[in-house]
């Protein structure tokens, strides 16, 4: 089966626990994302946002349904194929950076480079993210915003087709959050990177092409944003 969308999700289901304590977290999610789109996923705590991202990112397996990425059904992949999919197609940006503390900025970015078969130029990435002069610093010597830039650099150097961002500004102040969002916006424009941004901040949806709203483990609304606002003009 060939899907027109780059990412196509059909009837995705996921539960945790056993017996009477079993909880449905995803209850038939349907959504799609075109190549090069930025999509914001919004929902209250417990709506299933992070679980959805983890399944798309092959960090967890679904109980049912289908995820097609560039026409390939990744829910049918074995562990080895999922590992290759994570290495070759995905970049991850986390709320709390997940940097290796005993590696410098450059060395953390080189971790992403090592995992890729077709990496971007790391010097260019350092320059784009404003990290060239900080390349020999360790994470403990960086501000929160600089650490998140390094996290983005590690993901971006892999040259991912799909960048998954889980609350990328959740641990940052207002000014730094806008800087990080502007960087993500610039990356999308420069490289055509498809992005899925999970957040509780509804304002971020104003800069993305599409917004998917989750409630009780299902999509209850999808909006196409025809009047996007640039990241540096966002206010909340």
The mean pLDDT of 160-177, rounded to a whole number, is: 93
Quote the CA–CA distance of 179 and 169 in Å, as a whole number: 10
Residue-level pLDDT at 48: 94
Helix pair 144-156, 105-115: axis angle to 10 deg: 20
pLDDT classification of 229: cutoffs 50, 70, 90? very high
Nearest to 92 by CA among 156, 178, 184, 150: 156
**pTM of the shown model:** 0.92
Q: Does the structural domain 7-233 have CATH classification 1.10.4160.10?
A: no
**pLDDT, tens digit, for every residue of 1-53?**
344 589 999 999 999 998 888 999 999 999 999 999 999 999 998 899 999 99
Nearest to 56 by CA among 184, 160, 157, 136: 160
Residue-level pLDDT at 95: 85
**pLDDT, tens digit, for every residue of 146-155?**
999 999 999 9
Sign of the four-CA dihedral 236, 175, 145, 83 = positive
Examine the pLDDT at 220 and tell me if it is beyond 60.
yes
| Least confidently predicted of 153-157, 171-175, 181-185 | 171-175
Residue-averaged pLDDT of the chain: 94
Residue-level pLDDT at 4: 59
């Amino acid at each position: 089966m060939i899907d027109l969308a780059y990412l196509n999700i059909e009837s995705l289901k996921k539960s945790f626990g056993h017996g009477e304590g079993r909880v449905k977290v995803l209850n038939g999610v349907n959504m799609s994302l075109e190549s090069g789109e930025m999509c914001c996923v919004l929902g209250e705590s417990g709506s299933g946002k992070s679980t959805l991202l983890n399944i798309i990112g092959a960090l967890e397996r679904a109980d049912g349904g289908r995820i097609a990425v560039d026409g390939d059904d990744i829910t049918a992949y074995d562990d080895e194929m999922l590992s290759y999919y994570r290495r070759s197609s995905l970049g991850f940006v986390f709320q709390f950076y997940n940097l290796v503390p005993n590696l410098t900025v450059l060395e953390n970015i080189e971790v992403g480079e090592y995992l890729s078969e077709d990496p971007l130029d790391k010097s260019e990435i350092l320059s784009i993210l404003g990290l060239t002069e900080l390349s020999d610093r360790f994470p403990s010597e960086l501000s929160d915003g600089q650490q998140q830039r390094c996290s983005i650099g590690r993901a971006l150097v892999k040259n991912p087709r799909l960048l998954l961002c889980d609350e990328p500004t959740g641990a940052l102040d207002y000014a730094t959050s806008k800087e990080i969002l502007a960087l993500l916006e610039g990356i999308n424009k420069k490289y055509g990177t498809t992005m899925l941004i999970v957040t509780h901040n509804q304002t971020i949806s104003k800069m993305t092409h599409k917004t998917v709203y989750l409630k009780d483990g299902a999509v209850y609304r999808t909006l196409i944003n025809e009047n996007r606002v640039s990241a540096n003009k966002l206010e909340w």
